Amino acid sequence: MIHNITKKEIKLIALDMDGTLLNEDGKVTEGNRAAIKEAEEKGVKVVLSTGRAYATCNEIAKSLALSSYLITVNGSEIFDPNGDLVERNIISHELIEWMWNLTQKYKTGFWATSTDKVWRGEMPEDIRSYQWLKFGFNIAEDKIRDKIFSLLKETGKLEISNSSPTNIEANALGINKAKAIEKVCSFLGFGMENVMAVGDSLNDIAMIKESGLGIAMGNAQEIVKETADWITDTNQNDGVAKAIRKLVL
């Protein structure tokens, strides 16, 4: 259901990348590319709001000729239109070491994003000589994933989400895509009611909930669909373009 759709003036479109803007081959389809270009030409800002680090999304933003900010690592970093860092929120070394120890104890896959690199399945010898933005767990087994999710929640010091049903992502407490989009809106001079946010996973729920229009992908996790105002097509079928054309253009 879309509520009061005629009253929404969308000035900014916030797009998740994996499972949303990108298809299963990790590419932006021509349909999505064309709709984004038309939105930008109409004066609507398009912002990538992703769990990825800057290094793995900047080229895609450039290829789309986006004129606005870039939100990375689930909102841990915000970059301005020139690619300069505007804000950074880090996780304490103690928490990073504790989460890494959990992966050893429960034999899980993991990755960790520092300010200069994404570490996969390995960590540097001196964890404390780096600044950390996010820690992620890859866990196929539901029971172990639920256990670790609970342990992370219990700390009361982490923002917990996921970017796929089998992973867990931990950011600094209070850091999420919605908060980052709100900051970008304040830089641009309007509010969250003028935002349309599109996503597919738990790390998209906050922005879908708090934006004027929250859109779930057809391939989104069920809880994301339940949160959204409207459900578009899948990432394989130009779901982003269809949402932009129906609700913005």
CB count, 10 Å around CB of 236? 13
What mean pLDDT do residues 227-248 have? 97
Whether residue 71 is found in the same domain as residue 188: yes
Q: What is the DSSP pairing of strand 195-199 with strand 213-216?
A: parallel
pLDDT at 2 over 70: no
What mean pLDDT do residues 74-81 have? 97
Tokens 């609970």, located at residue: 150
What mean pLDDT do residues 198-225 have? 98
Could you give the count of Cα atoms lying within 13 Å of 200 in the half-sphere of its Cβ? Answer: 24
What mean pLDDT do residues 99-107 have? 98
Nearest alpha-carbon partner for 75 in 173, 166, 209: 173
> Which domain, by its residues, includes 130?
93-172
CB 86 within 8 A of CB 54: no
Of 129, 151, 172, which residue is a domain's last?
A: 172
Count of domains observed in the chain: 2
What mean pLDDT do residues 197-217 have? 98
Distance in angstroms (rounded) separating the CA atoms of residues 84 and 114: 17
Whether residue 84 is found in the same domain as residue 113: no
pLDDT at 78: 98
Q: Is 126 a catalytic residue?
A: no
- The tokens for 96 are 């990073």
Whether residue 123 is found in the same domain as residue 167: yes
Mean pLDDT for all residues in the chain: 96
Q: In percent, how much of the chain has pLDDT > 70?
A: 97
Distance in angstroms (rounded) separating the CA atoms of residues 178 and 192: 9
CATH number, domain of 115, equals: 3.30.1240.10
pLDDT at 67: 87
CB 112 within 8 A of CB 92: no
Amino acid at 144: I
Whether residue 113 is found in the same domain as residue 74: no
> pLDDT digits over 15-74, tens only?
999 999 999 999 999 999 999 999 999 999 999 999 999 999 999 999 999 989 999 999
Q: What is the pTM of this model?
A: 0.95
Across the beta sheet with 109-114, the strand order is 118-120, 109-114, 132-138, 167-172, 158-161
Distance in angstroms (rounded) separating the CA atoms of residues 17 and 29: 12
Whether residue 79 is found in the same domain as residue 189: yes
For residue 210, the cross-strand partners are none
> pLDDT digits over 11-21, tens only?
999 999 999 99
Of 125, 141, 172, which residue is a domain's last?
A: 172
pLDDT at 1: 52
Of 117, 139, 172, which residue is a domain's last?
A: 172
| Gyration radius of the chain's alpha carbons | 18
Alpha-helix runs per DSSP H in the chain: 30-41, 58-63, 93-106, 142-155, 177-188, 205-210, 222-227, 239-247
pLDDT at 3 over 60: no
pLDDT at 6: 53
Whether residue 190 is found in the same domain as residue 78: yes
Whether residue 98 is found in the same domain as residue 159: yes
CB 112 within 8 A of CB 123: yes
Distance in angstroms (rounded) separating the CA atoms of residues 198 and 214: 6
Among the listed residues 16, 200, 204, 238, the single catalytic one is: 16
For residue 219, the cross-strand partners are none
Whether residue 113 is found in the same domain as residue 167: yes
- The tokens for 205 are 């729920």
Whether residue 98 is found in the same domain as residue 195: no
Whether residue 184 is found in the same domain as residue 165: no
| Rounded-to-10 torsion of CA 15, 91, 110, 159 | -50
